[in-house]
Amino acid sequence: MSLTVLKPGLLATVQDLGRYGYQKYGVAVGGAMDEPAARVANWLVGNEDAEAVLELTLTGTELRVDQDMWLAVCGGDMGARTDAGEVVPLWRPVWIAEGTILSFRHYQSGCRTYVAIAGGLEANVSMGSRSTYLRGAIGGLDGRTLGTGDRLEIRQRGREALAIDKLEVSSSGRLKWPLWHAGGFAVAPREVHTVRLMQGEHQNLLTAEALRNLYHEVFRIGPSSDRMGYRLQSERKLKFGEQASELITEPVVHGTIQLPPDGNPIVLLADRQTTGGYPRIGQVASVDIPVFAQLKPGDRIRFYSVTPIESERLKLESELDMNQLRTIIALKLHHKT
C-alpha cells in the first residue's frame, strides 16, 4: 500500500503529535501545527491519535493513490480534487480508488491541510516520534520535506472504515464518502481572528502605550513566519519602557510571545527552540494555538486578555469535547454507518 508524491507543493512533511522528553537536550517538540485537525483526521480513518499524517502547506501538492484506500483530509481547505475534477469532501472518511490522482491546487481557506491514511504512514522514528524536524534532519522521510517521486508506504493494514455500499458515490465512482462529518472542529475563516492571550512575565516592562497597543492593535502575520514561529507586524511597534535589563535565557513553551528589540512580536510554535532570551510579553491560550497553524502571511489577528485559570479551563473543556468526538467517530466506524 502506498501513495506516490507527484508534486510536493509549497511544503509537505510527515508529522505526528511531536517529540516529547528531549527538550532538555535542546530538541524541539515539533509535530502537527494544527494538532486537533491531525488527531481528528486519524480518528476518521480508524487510527490512533499519534499516527503519522501528511502536513501540506497552502497549495501545489499532487499525490497518486497506488491502491484503493481510506483517507481523511482535515484542517485548511486547499481545494482537494481528483484528476476527474471531483471535489474530495473534508473532515470525513473518504474511500479512494487505486490510480486516482489527488491535487491540492484550488486554495479556499486556512494554511495547513492534514491527510491521514488508514493504517498510518511509514516514516523514520527518531526519539519516539515520526515528526519531521527539518533543522535537525530527523523523523519523517530522512528528516526532509517530501519530494517528487517519493513513495509513502502505509505502516499497517488499515481497517475497512465503513460499509462501502451505504456511501455517497462520485460520478466517476472513484470517490465514496458518508454524509456525516466532523467539520465542526475546523477553524472558521474570519476577517480578523481573535486570539486569547495570558499575561507574559515581562509584560510590565512595556510602556503604558505599548501595553494598550498589545490589546488594541491589529497584528498582521509577517512573511517570514514558519513552523518555528510567527512574526507579527503592527502599525505601532511595541516598545519597552526603561531599558529592560538583560534577561538570562529561560525555557519557553508553545505559544510564548517574545518581543525582540525591533518591536515585532514572535509567537513560538511547533518547531520552536526550547529556551529563549527575549522578554516574554504574553502566552497564547493553548486552545488558540491551532488558530496560528491556519493563518498565513498577511492574515490579521487581535489579542484578547484571559487569565491562566480561564485558559486552563478552556483547554480542559476543549479536550473533553475532543474526547466526545473521538467516541462518536469510533462508534460510527464500529457500526460501519
Partner 1 sequence: MNQSLNDSFLPLGDSSVLIRKGTTIDKGTHRWIMSVMQLLEAQRFDGMIECVPAFASIAVHYDPLVVWRSRSLQEKGHASVYETVCKRLEQCLSLLSEKEDNRLPERVVTIPVCYGGDYGPDLQEVAEHCGLSAEEVVSLHTSGSYSVYMIGFAPGFPYLGGMPPSIAAPRHKTPRIVIPAGSVGIAGAQTGVYPLATPGGWQLIGRTPLPLFRPDQQIPSLLEAGDHVRFEAISEQQYKEWEGAEQL
Question: Which residues bind to partner 1, rule: CB under 8 A?
Answer: 20-28, 126-127, 135-138, 198, 201, 247-256, 273-275, 283-286, 308-309, 311-312, 314-316, 319-320
Q: Using the minimum distance from each CB to partner 1, give the nearer residue, 24 or 157.
A: 24
Instruction: From residue 87, give the alpha-carbon distance in Å to each of 90, 94, 96, 101, 277.
Output: 9, 11, 12, 12, 47
Residue 147: CB atoms within 10 A of its CB come to 11
Residue 311 CA to residue 337 CA, distance in Å, equals 36
Give which of 185, 145, 139 is closest to 290, Cα–Cα.
185
27 vs 175 by CB, closer to partner 1:
27
CB of 151 to partner 1, least distance (A): 23
DSSP letter (8 states) at residue 121: B
CB of 142 to partner 1, least distance (A): 12
Residues 310, 285: Cα–Cα separation, whole Å:
9
If the CB atoms of residues 169 and 316 are measured against partner 1, the closer one turns out to be 316
Looking from the CA of 94 toward its CB, the CA atoms found within 13 Å total: 29
Which residue lies nearer to partner 1 by CB, 103 or 132? 132
The nearest distance, CB 162 to partner 1, in angstroms, is 29
| Contact partners, residue 54, CB within 8 Å, separation at least 6 | 12, 13, 14, 15, 114, 115, 116, 121, 146, 152
Smaller CB separation from partner 1, 96 or 267: 267
The CB-of-280 to partner 1 minimum distance in angstroms stands at 8
How far apart CA 11 and CA 50 sit, in angstroms, is 21
Contact present, 120 and 54 (Cβ < 8 Å): no
Return d(Cα 23, Cα 252) in angstroms, integer: 10
Which three cell numbers, joined as nine digits, stand for 190? 474570519
Shortest Cβ 77–partner 1 spacing (Å) = 29
Smaller CB separation from partner 1, 235 or 246: 246
Question: In the bound complex, what is the minimum distance in angstroms from residue 317's beta carbon to partner 1?
Answer: 10
CB of 186 to partner 1, least distance (A): 22
251 vs 298 by CB, closer to partner 1:
251
